[in-house]
Amino acid sequence: MKKRLVSALVMGTMIVGTLAGCGSSSSSPSAAKASSDAAVASGSGTAAAADVASEDENTLSVYAWDKNFNIPALQAAEKAYQKKNPDFKLNIIEQSQSSDVENAITLAASAGDYSTLPDIVLFQDHYIHKFVTDYPDAWQDINDISINWDDFSQEKISYSTINDKHYGVPVDNGTVIAAYRTDLLEQAGYTIDDLKGCTWDKFDEIGKKVYETTGKYLLCMDGDGNDLPYMMMQAEGQSQFKDGKVNLTDNETFKKVIETIVKLQQDNVLYLANDWSDYTNQAIQGDMVAGVINGNWIIPTIEQVSDNSGKWEITTMPTLEGGDGYASNGGSSLYITSNCQKKDLAEDFLAYTFGGGDGATETYDDALTNGGVITTYAPASKSDVYNKGVAFFNNTPIYSQIVEMGTHVPVVEQSDFHYPTRTQVAAAIQNIIGGADVDSSLKDAQDQVEFQMEDASASTSN
């Protein structure tokens, strides 16, 4: 029981940031945590009630969330696979948010009964390692699946490869884009080429001139759920973790990243929004900024301002010493549960569609067209759909560009405590901006994360 409660509590503290970025409906940490805790307390998940079992040998059931993003991708895969198996049916059981799937796994494990699970679940990348580790009996590995893993972003694959076994098939692409308003850059005397892989010092210089000239910030970020430190570190090929432990205080690169963020804010180059709504609705859509750096899932948010069509372009991130910076933020993959009695069918379906088989091009083209889902499957970038110019982004083929960028994202050490660390680091940044000492603020953040790690370890061992 303690193990189950710990998992639910950790989910509650970690879940909100990725939900906002990946199309979930939860909008606050308290709401997400309340959902998770309530599910555990009541013994019933928030997942939609449905009969997950099917005796039909050609039907697979799947839990997924977001009717405008992930579900159109699954419908595209179903349609593509029906070219091979006309009798095939994918029973998509819609969830209101990603935490519904996590609750379903947690509750099934606590009951010792995985028969309540569907054949396949869509699962967030940053959470899967913990769930496979905590509940190994909930999953089936797919080491024997017919997929050439070298065709995918290795950073993406690193999440679903656990103890040298493959568990998941990628769906989307979290590759970070640095997107800028070229019209505002031009007013300040710059082009997007001046920002491609520049140093953060140069970025600061350009940003100050943009603010002085246009009154716009060159960058914005949700100050409450701050993803910027993680992305900046990954662009340097480094992590906030080392050998399974949080690594903030003895990490010179991380300290430089934090000092850079603070300087950008103080120079009116970075706007730190109060919350996610302020970030998306006021900063990006409210015409406060000349640039955005985040996972490419932020594109639909940028595109909401139709008057700015043709004025945006994308490129790579800055780095501390200069050179193209690559990172990824957010994303999910598909996993076969232990309740799946038709593993051969499930593997063939996944391999044929999302896995790069004969139906991959149709699947990914359709998923992009109808759901805005971009893949990390490199060969997909060669299709006409991926190479079509996007009017909003000055008719540049940004989708093939993003897939190519994804192949360069470095693999860095991940942790089950990614989101608790993000929360503590965001608080440290706010404290430093308020005048607190950098070293002591980072030590406080590290102490808080270490306490959570120790507490979770002690609880799960009892």
Domains located in the chain, CATH noted: 2-173+331-385 (3.40.190.10), 176-327+413-457 (3.40.190.10)
The pLDDT value recorded for residue 388 is 97
User: What is the CA angle 271-327-33, rounded to 5?
Assistant: 65
Q: Hey, what are 380's tokens?
A: 């997909």
Instruction: Residue count of the chain, please give it.
Output: 462
Positive or negative torsion for Cα 192, 193, 196, 198: negative
Residue 225: band (very low, low, confident or very high) from pLDDT cuts 50, 70, 90: confident
Please, which residues have CB within 8 angstroms of residue 285's CB and are 6 or more apart in sequence?
301, 304, 305
Buried b (16+ CB within 10 A) or exposed e, 81-113: beeeeeebebbbbbbbbbbbbbbbbbbbbbeee
The pLDDT value recorded for residue 53 is 60
Segment 436-443 mean pLDDT: 97
Coil, helix or strand at residue 37? helix
Check whether 18 has a pLDDT greater than 70: no
The pLDDT value recorded for residue 127 is 87
How far the first Cα of the chain sits from its last, in Å, is 9
Check whether 434 has a pLDDT greater than 90: yes
Residue 291: band (very low, low, confident or very high) from pLDDT cuts 50, 70, 90: very high
- Tens-digit pLDDT profile for residues 134-174: 999 999 999 999 999 999 999 999 999 999 999 999 999 99
- Tens-digit pLDDT profile for residues 261-288: 999 999 999 999 999 999 999 999 999 9
Segment 350-357 mean pLDDT: 98
The pLDDT value recorded for residue 455 is 84
- Angstrom distance (rounded) from CA 304 to CA 307: 9
Residue 430: band (very low, low, confident or very high) from pLDDT cuts 50, 70, 90: very high
Contact 360, 380 (CB under 8 A): yes
DSSP H helices, 151-242, are 154-160, 182-187, 200-214, 228-235
Segment 384-388 mean pLDDT: 97
Beta bridge partners of 377: 152
Check whether 33 has a pLDDT greater than 50: no
pTM: 0.86
Please, which residues have CB within 8 angstroms of residue 384's CB and are 6 or more apart in sequence?
none
Check whether 403 has a pLDDT greater than 60: yes
- Angstrom distance (rounded) from CA 219 to CA 233: 17
Other C-beta atoms lying within 10 Å of the C-beta of residue 461: 8
Q: Hey, what are 401's tokens?
A: 């560009």
The pLDDT value recorded for residue 460 is 62
157-162: long-range contacts, CB 8 A cutoff, minimum separation 24: 158/411, 158/414, 159/125, 159/126, 159/128, 159/129, 159/331, 159/333, 159/414, 160/125, 160/128, 160/333, 160/335, 162/128, 162/129, 162/132, 162/133
pLDDT, greater one: 35 or 403: 403
Contact 64, 70 (CB under 8 A): yes
Check whether 132 has a pLDDT greater than 90: yes
Amino acid at 119: D
Segment 400-427 mean pLDDT: 94
Task: Tell me the pairing of strands 245-246 and 241-242.
Answer: antiparallel
- Angstrom distance (rounded) from CA 84 to CA 335: 21
Residue 330: band (very low, low, confident or very high) from pLDDT cuts 50, 70, 90: confident
Check whether 19 has a pLDDT greater than 50: no
Residue 44: band (very low, low, confident or very high) from pLDDT cuts 50, 70, 90: very low
Amino acid at 184: L
The pLDDT value recorded for residue 461 is 62
Check whether 368 has a pLDDT greater than 80: yes
* Phi, psi values for residue 103, rounded to 5°: -60, -40
Amino acid at 395: N
- Angstrom distance (rounded) from CA 242 to CA 245: 5
* Phi, psi values for residue 162, rounded to 5°: -125, 125
Poorest-pLDDT segment among 105-114, 360-369, 412-421: 412-421
Output the average pLDDT for the chain: 89
Contact 262, 429 (CB under 8 A): yes
Poorest-pLDDT segment among 4-8, 66-70, 76-80, 132-136: 4-8
Amino acid at 135: Y
The pLDDT value recorded for residue 390 is 97
The pLDDT value recorded for residue 56 is 86
Q: 3-state secondary structure string, 258-294?
A: HHHHHHHHHCCCEEEECCHHHHHHHHHCCCCECEEEE
DSSP H helices, 216-373, are 228-235, 252-266, 276-277, 299-302, 343-352, 360-371
